[in-house]
């Protein structure tokens, strides 16, 4: 992902397309066992009887956001850069908004964007942004990002926010 952004970290912004802005405006809620959950994605259909050891996995499952990138296809030479900026802009905004919550210091965001331009559905894919905390049994598959060959992935946490310039 750093290759996609190169010197573009300054391009991150707080303004988002309507679908992501709706999720962002709804904000966060504390769920069962203090799980940090996106308010617009969590509700009555989710189980509430979880163990402390399940918090990170539960957050990962609930906090799964799809970001459409279809409006970015018009400029194919900057598509990947703008895709990465969109996903990371949303992730950083949500991390900033979550900072006041108990346990937020352990909150992580994983942003994924397909880079396999030989895939026939390349321009139809969106970005995936997930949030979870390092509590209990959380996904550890993102500890080795080099193994992902067809997807650019960024892992962000609260310490990364100090380095970013969000306008």
Q: For residue range 37-59, what is the model confidence (pLDDT) as tens digits?
A: 999 999 888 999 999 899 999 99
**Of 117 and 89, which is predicted with more confidence?**
89
Separation of alpha carbons 67 and 136, rounded Å: 27
Q: What total of structural domains would you count in the chain?
A: 1
Q: Domain of 19?
A: 2-161
Most confident stretch, 7-16, 44-53, 129-138: 44-53
Is position 96 within any domain? Answer: yes
Is position 136 within any domain? Answer: yes
| Cβ partners under 8 Å of residue 158, min gap 6 | 95, 99, 104, 105, 107
- Cβ of 145: how many Cβ atoms within 10 Å? 15
Is position 150 within any domain? Answer: yes
């Amino acid at each position: 992902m750093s290759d996609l952004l190169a010197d573009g970290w300054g391009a991150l912004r707080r303004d988002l397309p309507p679908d992501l802005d709706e999720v962002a405006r709804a904000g966060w809620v504390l769920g069962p066992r203090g799980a940090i959950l996106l308010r617009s994605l969590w509700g009555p259909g989710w189980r509430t009887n979880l163990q402390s050891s399940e918090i990170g996995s539960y957050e990962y499952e609930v906090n799964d956001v799809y970001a459409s990138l279809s409006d970015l296809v018009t400029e194919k030479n900057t598509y990947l850069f703008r895709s990465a900026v969109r996903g990371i802009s949303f992730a950083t905004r949500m991390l900033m908004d979550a900072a006041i919550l108990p346990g937020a210091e352990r909150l992580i965001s994983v942003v994924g964007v397909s880079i396999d331009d030989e895939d026939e559905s390349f321009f139809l894919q969106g970005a995936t942004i997930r949030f979870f905390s390092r509590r209990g049994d959380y996904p550890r598959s993102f500890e080795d990002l080099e193994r992902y060959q067809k997807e650019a992935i960024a892992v962000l946490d609260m310490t990364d926010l100090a380095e970013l310039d969000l306008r």
